[in-house]
Amino acid sequence: MATSNVAVTVKQALGAALVEVLTGNLTDETIAAVDAINKEEVPPHLRDIVNVIHGMSTHSVVRESVSHHVLGELYAAAEDAFKQRLNA
């Protein structure tokens, strides 16, 4: 799915999630924004990230753990995209 076909709200929510997990933990606002995303609007290689964040606990210990998991999912999605572009 091309980036231009992704809704702006989806880009904003996932962009915020990317910045936040790279700089610390997800905020309540970003968790709520990702919760509002319809998974069908998300490119397939990013759905695991949305699945991890959907319904995420805001308890600080759990949030930190899940934020680390989201970071791992972002790494996997980036690695897959990189490999696809190398083969294109």
Query: What is the value of pTM for the model shown?
Result: 0.80
Mean pLDDT value across residues 27-54? 91
- With tokens 């990189």, the residue in question is 82
Per-residue pLDDT of 6-16, as tens digits, reads 999 999 999 99
Distance CA 77, CA 46 (A): 6
As a whole-number percent, the residues of the chain with pLDDT over 70 amount to 95
Q: State whether residue 9 is helix, strand or coil.
A: helix
Residue 37 tokens read as 């995303």
Q: Is the dihedral of CA 74, 15, 27, 49 positive or negative?
A: negative
Helix (H) or strand (E) holding 79: helix 60-87
DSSP 4: G
Per-residue pLDDT of 20-29, as tens digits, reads 999 988 999 9
Q: Whole-number mean pLDDT of the chain? A: 88
